[in-house]
Amino acid sequence: MAVTIATSRFPQYLREGFRPMMPFHEDVLAAATSAIATVDDRSVGSVVIARNFGAPVAAMISGKLSNPTEKPFWAFPKGHPDLGESDVAAAVREVREEVGIDVEAGLLGDVFTESAYTYAGRLHKDAWQRHAAYPDESKRPTCVFYKTVRCYLAVLDGAPPPLRPQEEEVAACEWVPLGEVASRFTRDDMREEYVPFLASERVQAAIATSPLA
């Protein structure tokens, strides 16, 4: 992970190796009326590519927004591992839950990209439901999250299977031609992370050679 060098309205929350939070996340901190908690957070997911008979496409989701000032965004399926669950197993489960397809046979456990960033927001729904103050939203903590994300490559043969978005967390999902993936990202950091990953020799070799062969 690269060393982060940045200016911030909240320099006390800068951490080496983590990209600083976006301005609208700093606005969340500025508006907070109670103590700020810090949370180490981790998600895993998968960049799922279907060869589509020679024209590769990637499964992307449009997430539901928790902050009304945030722009709509497209990303790849991901989520939190369950207690004791391996990263690979969690990635397979999250793809199944968020877009309704099974990638276990095509997931490559040694081909992945990993990023780290910082953002501010309200305590996650699952943790908030276990909180002593739940369901009083006025007491829901504001947090600074130090987030790491690992996305594995999964390659599927043949025509891409239908995608079924998870109603709770996914606004929409679709198969996107690889050449159009970069244009879907609304954040520069995601473009800088995933475009080189998709163009890398390991990914291109995996797309060209079936992991099932």
Question: Strand, helix or coil at 62?
Answer: strand
pLDDT in tens, 17-52: 999 998 889 999 999 988 899 999 999 999 999 988
With a pLDDT cut of 90, the percent of the chain lying above it is 72
Q: Which residues contact 33 (CB under 8 A, 6 or more apart)?
A: none
* pLDDT on residue 67: 61
DSSP letter at 131? S
Backbone angles phi, psi at 123, to 5 degrees: -55, 135
pLDDT confidence band for 125 (50 / 70 / 90): confident
* pLDDT on residue 160: 94
| The CA-based dihedral angle spanning residues 190, 154, 151, 83, taken in that order and rounded to the nearest 10 degrees | 150
* pLDDT on residue 34: 82
Backbone angles phi, psi at 201, to 5 degrees: -60, -40
User: Which of 19, 27, 37 is closest to 147 using CA atoms?
Assistant: 19
Q: Evaluate if residue 136 carries a pLDDT over 50.
A: yes
Q: 33, 155 in Cβ contact below 8 A?
A: no
Q: Evaluate if residue 212 carries a pLDDT over 60.
A: no
Handedness of CA 201, 203, 207, 212 (dihedral sign): positive
pLDDT confidence band for 6 (50 / 70 / 90): low
* pLDDT on residue 186: 86
Q: Which residues contact 45 (CB under 8 A, 6 or more apart)?
A: 76, 77, 78, 79, 91, 94, 95, 149, 150, 151, 152
Structure tokens at 8: 């911030």
Question: Strand, helix or coil at 42?
Answer: strand
How many angstroms separate the Cα of 197 from the Cα of each of 23, 47, 112, 205?
26, 10, 8, 12
Q: Evaluate if residue 69 carries a pLDDT over 70.
A: no
pLDDT confidence band for 126 (50 / 70 / 90): confident
User: Which of 184, 187, 186, 166 is closest to 175 using CA atoms?
Assistant: 184
Question: Strand, helix or coil at 118?
Answer: strand
Whole-prediction pTM value? 0.86
Q: What is the mean pLDDT of residues 145-163?
A: 95
The pLDDT mean for the chain works out to 90
* pLDDT on residue 138: 86
Q: What is the mean pLDDT of residues 119-132?
A: 89
Question: Strand, helix or coil at 180?
Answer: helix
pLDDT in tens, 75-94: 999 999 999 999 999 999 99
Q: 181, 195 in Cβ contact below 8 A?
A: yes
pLDDT in tens, 50-64: 988 778 999 999 987
CA atoms within 13 A on the CB side of 103: 36
Residues 90 and 13: their CA atoms lie apart, in Å, by: 29
Q: In CATH, what number does 20-208 get? A: 3.90.79.10
pLDDT confidence band for 66 (50 / 70 / 90): low
